[in-house]
Structure 1
Amino acid sequence: MTDPRPRQVLAAIPAYRPGRPALDESHKLSSNENPFPPLPGVVERAAAGLARMNRYPDPGVTALGEALAERHGLSTDHFAFGTGSVSVLFGLLDAWCGPGDEVVYPWRSFEAYPIAVDLPGATSVRVPLTADHRHDLPAMADAITERTKVVLVCTPNNPTGPVVTEAEFEEFMARVPTTVLVVVDEAYVEFVRDPDALAGAAALARHANVVVLRTFSKAYGLAGLRIGYSMAHPAITEAIRKALPPFGVTDIAQAAALASLEAQAELEERVEAVVAERTRVFDALREQGWDVPSSHANFVWLPLGERSAEFAEHAHPISVRPFPGGVRVTIGTPEINDAFLARAAAFRR
């Protein structure tokens, strides 16, 4: 008699292992979290939801869907919700892909992409970034075959930071078959300041095969409540919804997201503060001699190659995120950013 065995694909998927703990939350520059507390009114609205935790949440995410529909000039049947935009991506790939299908995406990019592709049995087609750490969209178009079901475009790219421009994307879409779904992952869109950057909502209006992913985890500071969404044409949205678990988004998360949307002025003020700090950190790193790519997210990328793990150890008690090829550092408070810059300068020496 043999033991119960999971699917073989799980053997190739790494288990999550947290990195070395930071001294405290302010020293944690490894997870792209917002350094600010929740926006005004969010805690109160979320706390009110605790009193009815004996009830299931609204499965349709009705109030939040109506608010987002009004904001984007769409109908509510354009939106699907999940526990973070990554959950929606997993559902989308479950709905579209199976064994023999291919998913094209840039690499290195969001680390969840390979896992989300592997679980339904699809095949990853990883297209290397350019020398300046950007999407190589012509090469991604070349990689599309008759087996391609989905293409993932991450802008700004996590973990390197550059954006895809609108002109680049339109040239790319001219080569993509209309039967291929193109997912524009905009987890960090609020931090973008490049006037030429692609706007996912505008791309959705032009192309019926585009899906846009957004999250409340980053700029809105709701990482601990896990809520994100997709925008797509209704037929696509219906398929995504079918692949997502019912009652996935708690009423507490829904209330917090709605309150966050209503605090737009305070949100913009905080985002501008992060962008200003990002610019300051970027300029300081360049002055130290680092070859840092231009970032439009809430982090910077140090292309350290094989010395990435060494730098992460050197940065302690500040926690940064090493990858094969580089280190991603979240923009934190000015004081912690100064401490990181001092360690970066010492490492250069």
Structure 2
Amino acid sequence: MSIAEPAPGVIAPRPAVAALPSYAAGKPPKAAEGLTPFKLSSNENPLGPVPAAAEAAAAVQSLHRYPNPAGEALRTELAGHFEVPYEDIVTGTGSLGALTQIISTFAGTGEDGTADEVIYAWRSFEAYPIVVRTAGAKDVPVPVTAEGRHDLEAMLAVITERTRVILLCTPNNPTGPALTHTEVTEFLTKVPGEVVVVVDEAYLEFVRSPDPVDGLALYRQFPNVAVLRTFSKAHGLAGLRVGYSIAQQSITQHLRKTAVPFGVSAVAEAAAVASLRHLDQVHARVEELVGERQKVTQALAEAGWRIPETQANFVWLPLGTESLDFAQAAGVQALAVRPFAGEGVRVSIGEPEANDRFIALCRTYSGPAGVA
């Protein structure tokens, strides 16, 4: 893609930035008479954080002081919880912040001026190409299968001497399917050891498959694996932006150089630590959402919809050209959903009333692209 030269006197970004797609966050719902509006567009946890986490955040009295430079308290808690070395954990502003550190560290433009390559499935998390291109690297998207799953064989086939990082999003956002531990293990045995493989597990708590990916086991077995996790989804702390990566020290020793100092606020750190100490309550909330997910997917199947098997806290409607039309129909029902023009619509699992209204819409929607 060619970028026109800026006119004299016009302040312009560098060409790589000018060519970037814009990240499109989920929009809030619009009011509709007689209906409670619900936001089903951002994969947020509608049940919120556990009480102890909210209380810990509210109790922070050191707002005039800088937080721990590298999330030391949270890393200590995580190290004890997962039984991993403290040095293997690097915190970030959500899993996206942790991913940005990895890409900035290992992929960019080489000394010869050639861009490094980062492989990922597509469609997947829409921030991937933005982060990769911002770093000066070249993204190599590999189409997902008709079922919305990673095509691991196709991803292996595009590895070159310029490949520096591979991203695996499991469950995949926005399509929903999860990889299996068996297939990822086999995949990793075929990836060159100098290529960093990121296992993005932002939604792992929602997985109920018979062979779920065990990111921690993979990181222990393969020195080139980095695991991404977040407190935004299951823990209900999306507004505080706290996540982390776990990798062996051959990786983390370099990540700490690109990590933003004081990136995790004192409020976020306190809430995350408290949430970890009340995981039984976190899991109870997740189980409630998984139950709602099952209700939604069963109702859609009974209504004739063909959708990918989701292991996350959302469903994917492969509506193609009908995507924007469906989103508009949802908006009339005071439901905000996330359309991807020409591809599909991602709908988060929300409050029971929101899910019931979404099911009712699906039962009556006449768009031919998503209904059997």
TM-score between the two structures when normalised by the length of structure 1:
0.97
Query: What amino acid does structure 2 have at the position aligned with 1:342?
Result: A
Q: 1:37 aligns with which of 48, 59, 67?
A: 48
Q: 2:75 aligns with which of 61, 65, 71?
A: 65
Deviation at 1:16, TM superposition (A): 4.2
Instruction: Show the 5 A alignment for 1:205-244.
Output: 205-244=220-259
Deviation at 1:47, TM superposition (A): 1.4
- Does residue 365 of structure 2 align to residue 347 of structure 1? yes
Single out whichever of 218-227 and 337-346 deviates more from structure 2: 337-346
Contact 1:40 1:263 in 2 (8 A): no
Query: What amino acid does structure 1 have at the position aligned with 2:336?
Result: S
Match of 1:75 in 2: 85
CA distance in 1, matches of 2:58, 2:326: 40
Q: Deviations over 1:36-84 (max 9, x none)?
A: 13202112211121x2111000113122111111111111101011111
212 and 256 in structure 1: CA distance in 2 versus 1, 3 angstrom threshold: same
Contact 2:27 2:338 in 1 (8 A): no
Query: What amino acid does structure 1 have at the position aligned with 2:363?
Result: A
Query: What amino acid does structure 2 have at the position aligned with 1:132?
Result: E
Query: What amino acid does structure 2 have at the position aligned with 1:2?
Result: G
CA distance in 2, matches of 1:164, 1:253: 30
Contact 2:317 2:344 in 1 (8 A): yes
Match of 1:13 in 2: 20
Secondary structure (helix, strand or coil) at the match of 2:238 reads coil
- Does residue 354 of structure 2 align to residue 331 of structure 1? no
Query: What amino acid does structure 1 have at the position aligned with 2:365?
Result: F
Deviation at 1:167, TM superposition (A): 1.4
Deviation at 1:328, TM superposition (A): 0.4
Q: Deviations over 1:119-162 (max 9, x none)?
A: 01111111000111100001001110000000000000000110
- Does residue 119 of structure 2 align to residue 104 of structure 1? yes
CA distance in 2, matches of 1:206, 1:235: 13
Contact 1:288 1:348 in 2 (8 A): no
Contact 1:30 1:320 in 2 (8 A): yes
Deviation at 1:334, TM superposition (A): 0.9
RMSD over aligned Cα atoms: 1.4
CA distance in 2, matches of 1:333, 1:174: 42
Q: Number of paired residues? A: 348
Q: 1:124 aligns with which of 136, 139, 147?
A: 139
273 and 312 in structure 1: CA distance in 2 versus 1, 3 angstrom threshold: same
Secondary structure (helix, strand or coil) at the match of 1:159 reads coil
CA distance in 1, matches of 2:316, 2:249: 37
Unaligned runs of 5+ in 1: none
Contact 1:162 1:294 in 2 (8 A): yes
Percent identity (aligned) = 51
Q: Deviations over 1:91-135 (max 9, x none)?
A: 111111112100000000000000010001111111000111100
Unaligned runs of 5+ in 2: 1-7, 110-114, 368-372
Large movers: runs of 4+ above 2 Å: 1-5, 14-21, 23-26
Deviation at 1:20, TM superposition (A): 5.0
CA distance in 2, matches of 1:296, 1:310: 26
Deviation at 1:344, TM superposition (A): 1.2
CA distance in 1, matches of 2:48, 2:178: 27
Query: What amino acid does structure 1 have at the position aligned with 2:301?
Result: R
